[in-house]
Amino acid sequence: MKLKALLAVAFIGIILFWAAGDLPAFGDPEAPATRYTGKLYVDLALSDIGVENIVAAILASYRGFDTLGEVVVIFTAGISVALLLRRGGRL
């Protein structure tokens, strides 16, 4: 049983190590993610929003809808734990 799991994990590991050769090098400034989208956010955040923290500006203004869904996720988790674990009918 453990041997089969070990073989499956080793097989997945070999595929992942082989695929890591295609990814951009660590710290490359010409990587596709950094050259187009990252540069766009760094250039435009100060003039559009006026907030110094770029991460907070993206989180609350450019991608504010994702953060709304995020708060709903954590609210749902709290309600689920309360439904599962509360006894005595005190909700």
Partner 1 sequence: MRRNVIIKTVSRFLVPFIQVYALYVIVHGALGAGGGFQGGVVFAASFILMIIAFGLTCVRERFGYRWIVMLSALGITIYATIGLLCLIPGGNYLEYGSIEAALGIPHLHGYLIDAVEIGIGMTVMAIMTSIIYDMGDTGGESP
Partner 2 sequence: MIESFYELFFARYNYWMAIILMLIGLYALIAKQNLVKKLIGLNIFQTAIFLFYISLGEVRGGTAPIYLPEGVDALYVNPLPHVLILTAIVVGVSVTAVGLSLIVRIHEEYGVIDEAGLLQELRRR
Cβ–Cβ under 8 Å, residues 32 and 24: yes
Site for partner 1 in 34-63 (CB under 8 A): 48-53, 55-57, 59-61
Should residue 61 be labelled a site residue for partner 2 when binding is judged by CB under 8 A? Answer: no
How far apart CA 64 and CA 62 sit, in angstroms, is: 6
33 binds, among partner 1, partner 2, none (CB under 5 to 8 A by kind): partner 2
CB 24, CB 31: distance < 8 Å: yes
Question: Under rule CB under 8 A, how many of the chain's residues touch partner 1?
Answer: 29
Kindly identify the residues of this chain, within the stretch 34-53, that bind partner 2 according to CB under 8 A. Answer: 34, 37-38, 41-42, 45-46, 52-53
